[in-house]
Each structure stands twice: as structure tokens, then as C-alpha cells.
Structure 1
Amino acid sequence: MSFAIVAEPLLGVYKGHVGSGQLDPLPSPARLHTALVCAAAQGVRAVADGDGLRPCDADRDALRWLEANPPDGIAVPETLHNGGAATAYRKEGLVVKEGRNPLSEKLVGKPAVSGVAVSGRFAWTWEQAPPEPVAAALGALCPEVPYLGTSESPVRLAVAAADPTHHLDREADLFTGDGLDLAVATAGRVDALEAAHRDTSVVPPLRADVHRSSEKTTAHPVVTTGLALGRYARPEPPPPPTPWTSVLLFQVDRPIPPERRVRYAVAVHRALVGLVGDGAPAILTGAYQPGVPRPSNRVAIQFIGPDAPHVGGTALALLLPRDASDVDLTLIRMAVQRLRHVKVAAGPFRVEARMEIPADAFWPVPAAGAERWWQTEPVAVPDSRPPRGGRWSLADAAALSVALVWRDEITASGRGDVRYRALAAAAAGRGVRVESAVRVMDGDVGRYVHKVNPETVIQPYRAVLTLGDLTGPRTIAAIGQSRHLGGGLLVPRDLPSDIVRRLAR
């Protein structure tokens, strides 16, 4: 657990202002530092300095450690600005002239400091604990801080455990990117605050206190020496898990027509199983013993191109599933190294191993000003017959196929048709959206599947869809009944953002 200073607003409200009176949404590291300086200079740990007080040496060392070590992270609870523009009136004992008669009881109106409702605690965290004397001094100083911001927001400050919600980005460009730009104390801040305090503590000369026909309060100048901006940003979310973790890419010596890809993928599959020999893993063969749980996905064989310049034209892609063991992957990679020729009735073709690519970095990045959608290539085939008990479309079948590929990330209750409908609905809840799904009826539709139940009606379709938050824009995947053998490959289609917004409406 990292070292942290935690602030608990006792009234559930934080009040503070910055600049010329604007609302301060949260206490910055610099405000924490200033509060500790005030406690060190005027609290029970302060030592005599002539007619005044100053921080003791141990506290000054701790404060200067804070200057050299800004917090590595901050914890920000949920907040809500709970006030608008308001004016506070009070008597300040000033002489205010209105017309010919000066008035000393005039009510003076000033903008009231609105507050921020807080649902938890603020915290400032350091990945490395400070030296023991510094930690001891900070632990003793924290209880001496009565409030952060204005005196209307009392606080309980302590050294305690906390986890940050935002981390300091030391390489941040403050003109771009997202995050919280907060003031942090730097070298010289303690000295500047002590010097400013000495200047304001000097008794002014009598001539500065002469009578005036109209008076007003004068705020002390804001000390900006020893301040810098730090960018605190939320950590990037972990990349979504991919159904297949990596891709073994092969160069193919001739284009593979889309309508023959399932047949050619079956030939590659047989060749690989033969190269592995006895004991070929089920993750490759697809043959599992009775009672053995089946993973969401197996080794998939797909053809890319020829309109894919990033892979050099037509290529064979062997997708390795996330659920495969290291032993199974080793056997498959050893067999791949010996794969040279693939026999097929239409004529053998040569393959040449090229490289292994992470599955989540396979496709090129989306075009500028566009959003990534996906198109099934050559077609996708539904994984099941339409469930009974209500309306069911090809778009629903596509959403179900997506859910079955990512079923480790999508949960649904029920069995049979009830579960299928629940899975399709859960996929939609993750942002899966099928913009179009059109049935393909161009001759022998059986060429788009390898094995199918004789009673099942084959309904190949082409679809354009988005995968929501299930995966990144560069991940290779396939859906549908033939996803492991040449069908249902999702190829990127980048649509201009303005068109996507119109489609959403």
C-alpha cells in the first residue's frame, strides 16, 4: 500500500476558491502543502522566532520533501457543485460614502463561496514512502490542520491508506489530452510563504491608516512563487480480452476465391492435424471427449486479402485461441514450421510462414475522422436455428454469434432458446449494434459451412456491425458457425463519424 495523506471533509462539503474567486472543484496538492505550512508555522509544533513563530526544523524538512516529491497520485471522490451565484452581506465596519453622508454601518455584499458536496475522502498518494523522519513529521502535522479551503469546510487530515483514482503524468502535454491540471508545490514554496507572512505581519505606518471618505477591504496578494501545474489523469483501462491472442501469418502463392475459403481452410486444417500426428490437441481438432468442457473458441483458419496491403496481399492467418495451453500451442507452432504445401481438389497451393502478430494489433489503425465498423467476409452463418417464442432476425443471430465468441465476458441465465435470447440482449448491452444483415442466396449455400445438421437450414448472411466495448479497433476476430474454418471473418470498414452520428439518430 502506498503512503498517503487523507482528507475527510467533516461536513461533507469542500469550499475553496482560486484565481479571482472562481470555485475550486477539489483541493490541489499545493493547497494541501499550504495548509501544512500554516499548521507548522502556527500550530503546537511551531518554535519561537523573535516576536513570532516559525516551523521547527523537522517540519521544514518535511515540507521541503513535499516540494521535491509531488504526489504520484490523488484520490478524488464523487463530487457535486451544490450552489450557484450568490452574494453574502455583512457589516465590516467600513466607512462607505453615499451622496454627502458617510455611513459606517453599510452592509457590504461579496460573492459567496459556493461549495462542492463530497461523497468520500480526498487523498494524495506517493508510491514510495518518505524517509522515516519526514513521515513522522507529516503524521504529527496532519491533525493540526483544521480546514482545507475556507474555514467553512473543516477537515480531518491524517496519514492513512488510500488508493489513487488519478496518477501523475510526468510527460503530459498540458495543451492536449485529458486529466486534472492541478497546482503542485515546487522548490522555494515554503520560503515564499514565510516571506509573505512576514511582510503582512509588519505594522503599517500611521499614514497608511488615515481617514478616507470611502473605504474597502484589501485582500492580501496571492503568492504564486513555487507553484507549477501537474497533470493527474485516470489510468488507461486495461485492454479488453481478445478471443484469439495471436495470429500466425503465412504468405499464399495465389488468391483464394471467397466462395472457396471454407473448403481451403478445411484442407489446411487437415494438413496441420496430420503434421501434429497422434495426440493432436482438441483445441486444434475440435474433437473433445464426452464431458470435457469446450472453450469458447478453437484454432481458427482464415484467409486475408487480396485487398489487404498490410499483409502483402493474400495471406493465410492461423488464429491461436486464448484458452489454449502452452503445451498445445507448442505442438501447433512446431507443426506450422513444417507446413509448405496444402492439397485441395481445385489444385494444391504453397504457403510460407512469415510472422506472428498480436491479435489486438492485427488490423491498421482507423482512418482519421472515422469510426471502425466490421463486415463479415465472405459471409457469416448463424450458430443455431432461430429460437422459438417470438421474433428473431438476422441481426439478432449476428448479436448471438458475437456473444458466443465473447461468452467468457458476456453472461446470461437460462437454457436453450431462453439463453440464446438473453445472450443476444447482453451483447446489445455491451454496445454491439448490427446496422445491416442481408441473406446471401447465390447458389450452393452449403459451401459456406463444413459440417451441419441435416435438419438445419443454412442461412449465410453479410452483416455490418460494431462490437461496442468488447474489443479494440485493431483486433482480428470471426463470428458464426464457420468462424474456425474460413467463414465469418470480421474485416474493418471505417465510416466517417458524421455518417455514424446520422445512423445513430
Structure 2
Amino acid sequence: MGGMAIRARFPLGVYTGHSADGSAERIPGFARIFSALVKSAACGTQATGDPAIPYSQTAVEVLDWLESTPPTGLRVPSMTPLHPAGGRITYRKEGVFLKENGSTNYKVTGRVTSDGTALAGDLYWVWDDPPARELVLTLEDLCADVPHLGETSSPVQLTVTEAVTPTHVWDPEAGLHPRSGEHRQSVPILGRRAELDEAHAAVASGKPPSMARDKHTTSARPFAAPLPQNRLRTRVYLPVERQEPPVPWPQVLSLPITRWNAAVPEERFVSVCVALHRALASRLGRAAPPEVTGRYARDAVQPANRVGLHLLPAETEGSPFEDGLDRFLVLIPHGMNSSAFSALVDALMGIRRVVTAEHQLDVAPEALEVHDGAAFWAPAAPDTVRVWEASPALVAERRLRRHPEIREMDLMAAWSIGNVLRDLWPALAVKDAVTRYQVTAEAGIRLSGRAYRTAQPGAFVHRIDRRALVEPYRLSLDWGGALPERAIVALGQSRHLGCGLLLPWDRPRDREERA
């Protein structure tokens, strides 16, 4: 085994725990994992059954190794607070009596709930160098005996796995000032097990109290003795610097549509995506990032692309989904920072229905998934050539001057490709449409545009000058190796709102060669 990890899988998708000061934890610290394993060693399948010496020899060796060897990395999934505005308070009777105005009253007490964290995947604590095989097997048994982490409302499945690629790595040079994206974890040091044993002995051992001392009083409150903190230290884990793939939208969020009042025709793709965009903007409020709204500071350099919203029918060829559900796709643009991404995910998690004048679509934010934008589509079938079709159509960003040797639709397609790829290919950032066409041709990109006849051309754009003529057209495109064959791309004036999504079409190789 080249490395090792402890994986925490929360079957309910939620972690709820609180730090020593009572504040909600976003994710459990490794010190909490260690405490849970200490209890497993004393009370679980590895325990000796002797209260005086509860730990087996191998369990002691495992715990000593964990004290001396904190994890070197973390793998943290996307996450969002269950209730971003603060925990809700529930009121219940917990055996609290108070004397008020000469009488003893049974009081209802409040407790913060719904202050957990919804996790979009499993948590991992990673070690580069695992212990001996015998200790790993014992650690597996200890992990299997852990029923929950934090509150009992967040059950967990702890398992030992091979090492995974961390999203955060330990920074031994970290200081007191927090940095963007970091996770600070309490970790045990040598002597932590003994410290926990002493705290337990102080509460559980000794002479039981007399009935008089143990009786209920009006000053009694629900109480848990605080754990000692002397044998804990803080480790800082910083995000791994990762190179985004050279595609316009490196990440994709998929939002399943579970119920609809009517099928959405191609002419309404834009309208339902506009409705989703308005719902997002409403939830984000004034803090909405410019990648969502398109409103950048006056002196800011505007990137080529923003967050794109598209509707993907269930029957789409090459779709990575097989459950028969339509989906909204949320395309995350190249260079979007983590805080803007987190705000977008938080907003999506609060949307349950997308409504237009004609359609009502119920969505399932709890089933939100993250995908690699460079490898979104299914691989091409053997002995085929992948060609792309713009769905439902393509609308150029502006009218272009005709060129005697280049078909007008191909020239407009090259212009749209330049608008999408100009941040990745500086040669496409030129303002001359003919030069853009020549660059795309030299890169091996083949274009084939054709007319798209519709009685509602205005349905394929969101906003446009009323005096402008809207001309949607069909486009077939072969990237010729210029982009990954599974990358997700959208082109045209409405590429951010439901139009111009390129769908894969795998044609037999011999037929393509004849063409």
C-alpha cells in the first residue's frame, strides 16, 4: 500500500458537530476522529472487556501511531451550510425546572438545530506513509465500530482506504493569519489518549453520589463536561494548487429535474434557463458574483465566459446520465474563484422549482453533482469520429461583413469560437472575423453552418437590439483535436442562457472519411 486514508461517509449527506466554544463545525477535525477511535478501542470489538485495561496491545499501537503521525492531507468535497443564515432553534422539555414567582415550573428549553453542513461527497484524511499491515487491519476494526461523528444526528461510516489525491495539504510554515480556502484541524499529539482516559476516569470512576446529592434541583441544566485541550495542536491544510484544464468551462454542476408540467420544446430552452438565472440572482442578492450576473466593475477586464445555464434532455446522445431525467447544467467558467463558486452552490441548494409562464420544473438540489468540464461527455464509440451539433441552434453575437470566399455562417461560427476561446488562445482575441476564421482553419477546426427555419427566431436569444435581425442557424463542428473530445462547450450570443450547447454526434469513421 503506497499510502493510506480514513474515509468518512455520511449516509444522510450531513455532518453536524460543534467545537469547544459551541460554534458549528464545517467538517470534523481529526481530533474528533481520534476520540471516536479511542472509544472504539475501549468499548468495541477490539476491547479486552477489562475496565482496568480496556485496550488491546495492537489498539494501543494504532492509537500511539495516530498521535505521533497526523494526516498529511485532506480531501474535502463541495459543501454548504444547511441553514446559511444561522441555525434554527427547536424547543423541547429536557428536565429543566425553575422557581418562578413562588412556584416550580417545568420549562421548555431551546437548542440550535439545522446548523450542520451538507457534503457533496466523502471526507478523507490522508497519510503518505501508512503503518504496518497489522496495525492497518486493527484500524479498520476500530473505524467500523464508530457509529457517528459529532451529534448522533450525523451517523457515519468510517473505513480505511488506499490514499487518494488530496484537495488540501499540510503547510508546516502556516502562521496565525488565515488564508483563502484553508482548513484548520485540531490534531492529537503524544499523550492525548492518556488525557482522554483521565477525563473519563474523573467523571465515571469513584464513589457514586448519595441519593441526596444526586437528586434533581432547579439549577440543573443539560450539561456535558468539556474535554481537555492540552494535548491538541492545530494543523493548517492549504488547497492544492491545481492547473485548470484548457477548456472554457472546467467544471459542470448538474441539477436533476424530477417533475414537470409539460415537456420543454427547443424554443423554450432559453426561457427556462432565464428563469433559473433569475432564481439564482434572487437568492444571491446584492452579493451575486459578476460571473453570474455579467455585471463587472467598470475598470475590470471581462473574461470571455460567465456561468452558463443549459437544459440537457434525458435522451441526449453521449450524456453521462442514465436515470432518464432531464437536467439543468451549470457551466463554471475558467478562472472563477472559490468564494464565488461556493456562493453559487449555496444558491443552487436553495432552489426547488423553476417557473416560467408555460412551465413548472421541480428540481432536486440534494442530488447536485460536480463533473469535470474537460471530460463531461461519454467517450466516443469505437470506429467513430466525433462531430458536434449546436443545440438547439446558434445565434451569432453580431452581423458580420460578407466575405467573397467564406460562407457567411462559417464566418459567424468562427467569430463565436473566438469569443469563447479568446482567453485560452490569444490568437483568437483579434477583432477581425476573417483572421479568426483563418486561425480556426489552421487549428484543424472544421465548420459547417446551415439555415434553421423557425417561426420564433426571437425565442433563441435573451436580450438583443430590437432593430437587429435574429438569425438562428444550425452548426456542425469538428474540433480536430483543438479541444478534448469530451469537453463541454457552448457558442453564440445565448451561450450562457440555454442556446448554443454543443452536443456530441459520433459518426461512423468510414462515412466521415468519404464525406
TM-score (structure 2 length as normaliser): 0.49
Structure label with greater radius of gyration? 1
